[in-house]
Structure 1
Amino acid sequence: MFPLVLSILAGIAAPAAAAAGPSACSNITTQLGSSKVSSNLLSQEYSNSLEYWNALLDDYKPSCVVYPKNAQDVSVMVQAIRAADSRFAIKAGGHNPNTFYSCVDNGVLLDLSDMTEKSYDPHTTLATFQPGGVFGDIYDYFVKYNRTVVGARLAGVGTGLALGGGMSYLSPQYGLACDSFRELEIVLPSGEIVTASEDSNPDLFFASRGGGGNAYGVVTKYTVQSRPVGQFYAGNLIFPFPQKDKVIEAIGNFIKYNTDPKAAIIGTYEKLGTPDLNLNLDEAIIMFLVYDGEDSGDAFKNFTSIPTILNTMSLKTYPEVVNMPIPLSTELSRGANMFRVGVHRPENCSYENALDVWRNWAESNKGRYELLSLDFQPVPKSLTDASKAQGGNAMQMPDGPWYWLNYLLTTPPGMSEPDYKAVQASYRDMIKSVGNAEGLPLFINDANHDQNPLQTFSTFAKLQEIKKTYDPDNFFADRTGGWSFA
């Protein structure tokens, strides 16, 4: 899918600079050995590293893929990349759909998948894990201690999600994933290995809690506050689309009035690109309802009182919760995926208006998409209170309630470049027409590159200064993709 054109548009360096990739790969191989470097395009190891949730990114071919085991390996790689002046990318789970955020063409790909060490300290209840693997693996490890960590709501999402904030089913109780950070091991753009915490490099620690991902260095180890975990009353409710008005009213009431921090929801409206034949066969509503405990009381009554097509509510373990609606849902949903995000206060944005604008676009653009999804993600006051109680994150989140809207667009395979650009632009303009609330941050995890989410943070100027401190010559900014600090 037109990788060369996209590479040019994204500012890939001229041929002389492109030779820097092989040079960096050669230096890394000399220092770390060939067992940690793959440059064979036909090898299974290399191919596995080039699988992304946005399948369009699979087309980009790094000069080599490097598989570090620890911070020392990453330090060697960063210094070799800097010496060669090569482009590079850092990949954990590969779920971010933005071009060059975790993929690279003619450069070095740091695949963190071999960094999977984990530990639990029962005396401090702190959990430690490296950035490789996905959150499902991490949940499976800590559940044997009857503990978990605040992380992704889908098992197949990688740990990089936490650096962008990280919304969890546990967030109404404990804040975002980044709020649970207690200490981070980070390899700086200079290659220096440092610790970031409230006591050591506190500015770096602040910025790393939701302030731009691996923009300040490569995070090679997380130490986080673990949380107790038991049985959950959870499941999916699937509604026929004619119930859309009742469901959107229930979502709005939950956002505005729910005060039980153990209750969490995602409200998703799904639209297929196939004709509906006037039978609404192309659309459905899927609610994700999760209660931390065996009895949810009346927390979900407004949803369960509406007639459903399917109700899977039951007692579940946390690993079962993050595999809703089916196991491997992240992997199975691979495609030409792209996110955009909106943010709204319940009193200033009509839920119905956002839904109607989105649905009207969907009806007018049949055949230009495979799947659309509009997800309502509440940010209750209990979440923002929990964040502030732990020192706050890089967003310095205003008091809830408010909510994020996630807009997913999956385009058909084999789409031409002009058609792809046109549908992306049209979708962007539709979302812009809904508007956003003033004074609220866009959610980095769901943002498109052109939305510049950092600029919506009240702390943006502070983050710019921290970025200058730890990446003074803009090496990370110029040689890898990521959010703009300009």
Structure 2
Amino acid sequence: MLSFCFSLLAATLVPVAAAVAAGPAACSNITTQLGSSKVVASPLNLKYIDSIEYWNTLQDAYQPSCVVYPASAQDVSVALQAIRAADSRFAIKAGGHNPNTFYSSVDAGVLLDLSSMTAKSYDADTTLATYEPGGVFGDVYEYFVQYNRTVVGARLAGVGTGLALGGGMSYLSPQYGMACDSFRELEIVLPDGQIVTASKDSNPDLFFASRGGGGNAYGVVTKYTVQSRPAGEFYAGNIIYTFPQKDSVIEAIGNFIQYNTDPKAAIIGTYEKLPTPDLNLNLDEAIIMFLVYDGPDPGTAFDNFTSIPYLLNTCSIKTYPEVVDMPIPMATELSRGANMFRVGVHRPGNNSYETALNKWRAWAEDNKGKYLLLSLDFQPVPKSLTDASKAQGGNAMQMPDGPWFWLNYLITTPVGMSEPDYNAVQQSYRDMVADTGNAEGLPLFINDANYDQNPLQTFSTFAKLQEIKKKYDPDNFFADKTGGWSFA
């Protein structure tokens, strides 16, 4: 009987031991093939420590068996084949801004840190720009400004290039569509290690899915070729209001979403809530508008906002790199914390602006002490944006005609919150967002979605994306061994 128990225990522990051993085995194989200069396994190494820092600091706790720093698509291919052979878990990290667990982090597996892949180029004849996935969009913008060009990408300099694979909203989007709409060619390492080109002429199904259809779900993108855009002077800045102006500002946001027809004008309307007592003076609340105009003179585009009494107005002439440093330089880095996103989508009208704001504000008042910061961001999707997307072939969302808008719900929880308390506040926040409802027939925004919102299922193209996923990841290697959006 005792020998039977030992046999049963051994049989139970073998899969666990194999899973734990898979990471080091993959790391050893990768080191042999790529060399020790591209692989770091010590958690005390400063390079390793830097690689496991994330915008959602809760992800910092996970420790990969090693961090691999590929310098080329071939290096990525070698690493993926070694990971597959060892049956190890892994993750792909560019900027590390996605807050969802294991979407760019891994515990006891291989972390592919793409930060060494930073090559960029510009072709003046075609006006096409190329960049590798390492670094952040601020680096990309700084490079192309020398040519008086830019690319459609993140609205904050510190966000990584992987944002474009989730769609990517830009201050230039009302003119040129989402970031993924500007893709012209992608170099992708498939789950089996093949290095392929995806474009409208080569692997067009893979190209379609990679434009906003789930990020690196189909392979690892190792080079982007995109249509660049002119970048001259911008009139841009922030206007900060006290919360007694909330009704006036929400009305101005609603009017902008419904009636603005100037594609050079872009806004983000941000309502902020702090955990401090308001003392009946609204000291725990503020409104920050981000206003950006592609050109030195916005005309009357922002008059509805500038006519409301405000505390501060920083609007002035700026370069595009200065635009993405609003409200302050290094905003992404300084806002690191226990951050989590949720997303909503709404059509204008039916008091949708006020309804969302009021439900969010009521939750904030009822849950003082359970958050460090709440932010509710109104992100317009004008018809000029959806028209620009369609003109370039459309993306995986196949965006219905604007106007409509996305809402980003950010919650930052206190440091050291217990797991039960953390789970309870996240569930409560989830229920509040769900209770606000979403418009039928509109896609949720992957860049702002929580993993449990299953945004791909809101796409009209979901069945097509499932087929493409099966074609390029037939044995579910990526689906089973790394985090990412559900195709189930």
TM value normalised by structure 2: 0.97
Secondary structure of 1:83 counterpart? helix
Give the Å deviation of 1:14: 3.0
Q: After TM superposition, where is structure 1 displaced by more than 4 Å over at least 4 residues in a row?
A: none
Instruction: Name the amino acid aligned to 1:210.
Output: G
What does residue 267 of structure 1 align with?
269
Identity of aligned residues (%): 84
Q: Describe how 1:47-126 pairs up with structure 2 within 5 A.
A: 47-126=49-128
1:118-160 alpha-carbon deviations (Å, 9 max, x no partner)? 0000000000000000000000000000000000000000000
Q: Describe how 1:233-312 pairs up with structure 2 within 5 A.
A: 233-312=235-314
Secondary structure of 1:295 counterpart? coil
Query: Which 5+ residue runs of structure 1 have no aligned equivalent?
Result: 1-12
Instruction: Name the amino acid aligned to 1:403.
Output: F
Q: Describe how 1:5-44 pairs up with structure 2 within 5 A.
A: 14-44=16-46
Contact conserved, 1:235 with 1:313, CA < 8 A, in 2?
Answer: yes
Query: Which 5+ residue runs of structure 2 have no aligned equivalent?
Result: 1-14
What does residue 454 of structure 1 align with?
456
Give the Å deviation of 1:348: 4.2
What does residue 434 of structure 2 align with?
432
Aligned counterpart in structure 2 of residue 350 of structure 1, from 352, 376, 379? 352
1:213 maps to 2:215: yes
Secondary structure of 1:391 counterpart? coil
Secondary structure of 2:296 counterpart? coil
What does residue 413 of structure 1 align with?
415
What does residue 7 of structure 2 align with?
none
Instruction: Name the amino acid aligned to 1:311.
Output: N
Contact conserved, 1:348 with 1:437, CA < 8 A, in 2?
Answer: no
Secondary structure of 2:252 counterpart? helix
What does residue 189 of structure 1 align with?
191
What does residue 162 of structure 2 align with?
160
Largest Rg, 1 or 2: 2
Contact conserved, 1:337 with 1:408, CA < 8 A, in 2?
Answer: yes
Instruction: Name the amino acid aligned to 1:387.
Output: S
RMSD of equivalent CA atoms: 0.6
Secondary structure of 1:19 counterpart? helix
Q: Distance in 1 between matches of 2:97 and 2:276?
A: 26
What does residue 425 of structure 2 align with?
423
1:352-397 alpha-carbon deviations (Å, 9 max, x no partner)? 1110000000000000000000000000000000000000000000
1:236-286 alpha-carbon deviations (Å, 9 max, x no partner)? 000000000000000000000000000000000000011112211111000
Contact conserved, 2:346 with 2:352, CA < 8 A, in 1?
Answer: no
Q: Distance in 1 between matches of 2:243 and 2:261?
A: 28
Secondary structure of 2:237 counterpart? strand
Q: Which stretch of structure 1 is more off in the superposition, 90-99 or 272-281?
A: 272-281
**Number of residues paired by the alignment?**
474
TM value normalised by structure 1: 0.97
Instruction: Name the amino acid aligned to 1:213.
Output: G
Q: 1:163 to 1:349 in 2, by over 3 A?
A: farther
Instruction: Name the amino acid aligned to 1:188.
Output: L
1:201 maps to 2:203: yes
Contact conserved, 2:217 with 2:469, CA < 8 A, in 1?
Answer: yes
Contact conserved, 1:62 with 1:108, CA < 8 A, in 2?
Answer: yes
Secondary structure of 1:14 counterpart? helix
What does residue 363 of structure 1 align with?
365
Give the Å deviation of 1:15: 3.3
Q: Distance in 2 between matches of 1:119 and 1:143?
A: 12
Instruction: Name the amino acid aligned to 2:392.
Output: Q
Instruction: Name the amino acid aligned to 1:157.
Output: V
Aligned counterpart in structure 2 of residue 177 of structure 1, from 179, 204, 208? 179
Q: Distance in 1 between matches of 2:17 and 2:428?
A: 34
